[in-house]
Amino acid sequence: MLRETLLRKLDHLIEFHGKARESVLPVLQDLQATYGYLGEETINEVARTFGISQTEVFSVASFYHFLNTKEKGKYVIRICRTISCELRDKANILRALESELGIRMGETTHDKKYSLDYANCMGMCDRGPSMMVNDDLYADLTPSKAVDIVLSYR
C-alpha cells in the first residue's frame, strides 16, 4: 500500500469523523472496509494522526472480531455458529463451502480472495442458516445457494 494513498484516505476520514479520541473506532472501521485489514503501517499512521500510542490503537483494533489486524481474503465469509442456525444444519453449509473453496474454517484461499470464519448470532435465527460476506447478510441458505452467493463475489 502506498503511504501517500493511506495518508490521503486518513485525511479524508478525519475530516468526516473529527480528530477526537472517540473517533478512533469509526476511522478504523472505515479503513478496514477500504483495505480489508488493519496492518502495522495503518495502525501506526492512525496512532500518529490521533497523537496516541500504537499499542493503544492496536489494543482497540485487536479487541473487535470484525477488525482484522492480519491480512484476510478480499471477501470474508462468516458463517453463523449460534445454536438456532446450528439446528438448521449449518454444518452442511460449512462443508459445502470448505470443499468448494478448498480451505478449512479459519483459512484464506491462496489467491487471497476468500476467508472462511465463524461469527456469532446475526439476528437471522428464524431464517437460518445464515452467513455474511463482508457486510452483506444472507439467510435461508442451502448448500448450493451458499456456494452460488459466494462465487458471485469476484
Binding site for another protein (CB under 8 A): 21-26, 29, 59-60, 63-67, 81-84, 86-87, 91, 119-128, 132, 135-137
Instruction: Write down the least CB distance from residue 24 to another protein, Å.
Output: 4
Burial of 85 (0-12, 13-18, 19+ CB in 10 A): buried
Cα 86 off chain centre by: 21
DSSP string, 116-147: EEEES--S-GGG-S-EEETTEEE-S--HHHHH
User: Which of residues 102 and 123 has its CB atom nearest to another protein in the complex?
Assistant: 123
The residue among 80 and 97 lying less far from another protein, judged by its C-beta, is: 80
Whole-number minimum distance, CB 56 to another protein, in Å?
Answer: 9
Please identify, using beta-carbon distances, which residue of 106 and 110 lies nearer to another protein.
106
CB of 7 to another protein, least distance (A): 20
Task: Return d(Cα 103, Cα 115) in angstroms, integer.
Answer: 8
Shorter beta-carbon distance to another protein: residue 125 or 147: 125
Q: How far is the CB of 148 from another protein (least distance, A)?
A: 20
Cα–Cα–Cα angle for 77, 83, 85, rounded to 5 degrees: 50
- Helix (H) / strand (E) element for 70: namely none
